Structure 1
Amino acid sequence: MIGAPATRFPRGLSPDEAAAFWLVQMDAGRLEGRLAAEFEQWLGIAPRHGEAFKRARETWNLFEGVGDEPSVAAIRHGALAAEPEHRSSGWKFVGAGAAATILGLMALATAILPAWRERLPVFVPAVRYERSDFATARGELREIELVDGSRITLNTDSAVRVAYSADRRLIAMLRGQALFEVAKNRRWPFVVEAGGRQITALGTVFDVRLEPDRVQVILAEGKVLVDSLKEHQEAGTAVAPVLLTPGEELIARKGRAAVTTKIDVERQLRWREGFAEFEEVPLATAVEEMNRYSTTPLVVDREAGELKVSGIFRTGSPHRFAAIVAELLPVRVRSLPEGSIQIVRGAPAGK
């Protein structure tokens, strides 16, 4: 753990100095409450703030990943000795030595990283490398344990690509939904890429759902930072990074600022137990969700689709779902010749 307890964000810092301050607080586990709110506000002020923080984080992780390699140890010593001038008295009490190290490494990295990166794998155990694709069929759930102890639970009709390397644990969401339980290792970032966004975990449990027009991130434990992929940053289409805290859901659409709300995480993650829970949602929305889990499709007409439904339903059981809905709502249910189940507005026969 680096740094010392901080009570406030010191003003008057350059983006790189401020990024170093925030990295110190995050590494020390202090980025919560009012300080977390200030961090989010700082990130949203200008794109260059997010860029500075990402640069600081990546540099620190890379340099920490090589252990006691002598040349890097010398660089660390030089960086600590090159502490910058402090522009406010508060800056002296927020882990200035650690922040100075980060700033020094950022300055030195430009010159040494190209050659140093080629040597990096020598200092990383071979067991850390993994390149695999994992997928589920419609209606299937699958739990995967990775080489570092992290776990992925894949929901129905989902796929991920795992590409562990020397400097990060990278997961690419190809389709669908997955819950990630990340083994903590701050020297080896765990990054999930989905729909133009990257989610960096800090010892965390979180859920990612990829759809054609959006990405949903739900945080159950720990913290994650959600920002744009590098290609979007270089193209000038990046959006401000967002730091999530437990109980928050982020919805991100391409080219738009993300929307963050507080949610009932337990309800949202019932899919792990084979259930879907709805509370006063349109029947059409519930049908769309239930269809993710079965090859027997439910179809609903417009009038029935506008009715609201609540309850906990077993996924993968469309006939049972339709029967329960017929008991709760003024609808009729029938099986169609092609195999689908139709739900239409109207009182069931015999009522």
Structure 2
Amino acid sequence: MAVRIAHNAAPMPGQRRPLVVTADLDLLDDLLRCAAQVNVMMDVAPDAVAAGKWFSGAPMVLVGIDVAEECARASFPRRPGVVLVGRYERPGPPDWPVALDLRAEHVATLPAAEPWLVDRIGRLAGAEARMVAVLGGRGGAGASVLAAGLAVTAARSGMRTLLVDADPLGGGVDLVLGWEELDGLRWPALTQTSGRVSPPALVEVLPQRGELVVLSWDRGGVLGIPAEAMASALDAGRRGQDLVVVDLPRRLDDASVLALGAADRSYLVVPAELRACAAAARVAATAAPHCLSLSVVVRGPAPGGLRGPDVASALGLPLAGVLRPEPGLARGLERGQPPARDGRGPLAVLCRQLLGELGLGAAKAVAS
């Protein structure tokens, strides 16, 4: 049974495993044995500090009763899939009030709960959607266009794709797609129902065309996204889609932090301008601690001659790609034409490159 010891190391992109947080070696042996029965590999952290980088992004978190109070004090972002685990062989349920402070979804007592744990961990062996997050280095950087382009490109290739607009102050990704008149639930309605709707049913009630499903905003008052609603949306995407793309605001809230932690890759879109680089540096400093992998997409033109590697070097981040100017893109958006819809042009080329690096380059049958 292979494990990774978390300590303070960053997870490798694309390797999302269940996380065990415990310093109790006997309990750890029990949990690793449960995982071995279904051939699932685990990440292991001995305390809350070591678990911090991994907590939001893990598909499931098993917290030992020995470190539960410490983890509760750490104030991790609220998320689904947290299970409080310990040994308890007396009759009746255990008196573990820390479960409420930890906001655990379940309490599992060994040895009685071992079959349930094995089944729960075994479900993670199935295929899960890949997830990417996109945010702008400054206002108007083009993050929403890149997010929409990635989603459209994936859907054209036959991938079941969920595009999530998490920026309440943005113009709305449905406008980027030309979908503003399409029927379906938006965020304000979803925040009232997400806790009572199963993940497959949640996806079914969102606006969609072909393989692309979108969760965006209506034209009502500006609201924030509760972390619980974001967790429900991401869970629905992970379970039923091939790809989830999240368009994030530059000012991070709890929902944004949750999405960043869950994403396999995060992209910071930065225009090739000096002032944009200065603004992006502040965004990167805020976002990077929550990301498994943060890299830069540089958007041209470059009035002062800044090159993509120059921008990435100034920000201290890897360069994911350069988006060359595309004169017809803005005109198409004004006409309600989704970006990258015909698979041609610099945006479509960049999107195929980024999806290929996620292991999603092998297209299914192209949608007509």
Per the normalisation by structure 2, the TM-score is: 0.27
Per the normalisation by structure 1, the TM-score is: 0.28
**RCO higher in 1 or 2 (8 Å CA, sep ≥ 6)?**
2
Greater radius of gyration (CA): 1
Structure with bigger strand share is 1
